Structure 1
């Protein structure tokens, strides 16, 4: 007896097929300030590229996307593919490490407003006002 897929069954099948195909291609991550396939990717992290992670690095599987950022400046330092070993590394002073396990989950953090720019602007404006 043959069965056809109707409604929810077809939807379930398409979702399953999509998941299987995406897993076969490998994890995709945003990348900047790293070497990927013998070339340096997006120096400065102004517009990170999308890369497909290789399946392994030095015997460890790439299962995560990683992003490192400066705690003081609130800016991204690097991003790319990572192994569990990279993600379990103790954070360096002043550097925050973020790891995640789904495609393109390591985008840049939303920009923080820091107090240094408004303070400098106010100081400069006051200097102009009193010296001008």
Structure 2
């Protein structure tokens, strides 16, 4: 709920402010997730690294777990498949979480991202689709 301050400006309650800021962080986080796939597909690891929180954690079943920006970039340098392309089918988000569903080289995956308070990518855990 907002109220008018003595100078005529709008004053917002703490809860409304948190919701607004939280929504902005979530929206920026969704943009960062989209950019992360773009940078990885383009082989731009410097651009990708610019989206990562310093204490980022990467957990995927196909590469060693990594902690910290430099280590996550190194894992991608060593494990990047030339020409691999992500096809993102859907992105959903809430609060500090962004979930991307798609395919890479025809294999279905789900990435669950955690965002830092400033919308940097703090964590990514990947799950692959396995046929029954």
TM range (shorter): 0.3 to 0.5
Q: TM-score, normalised by structure 2?
A: 0.33
Between structure 1 and structure 2, the one with the greater Rg is 1
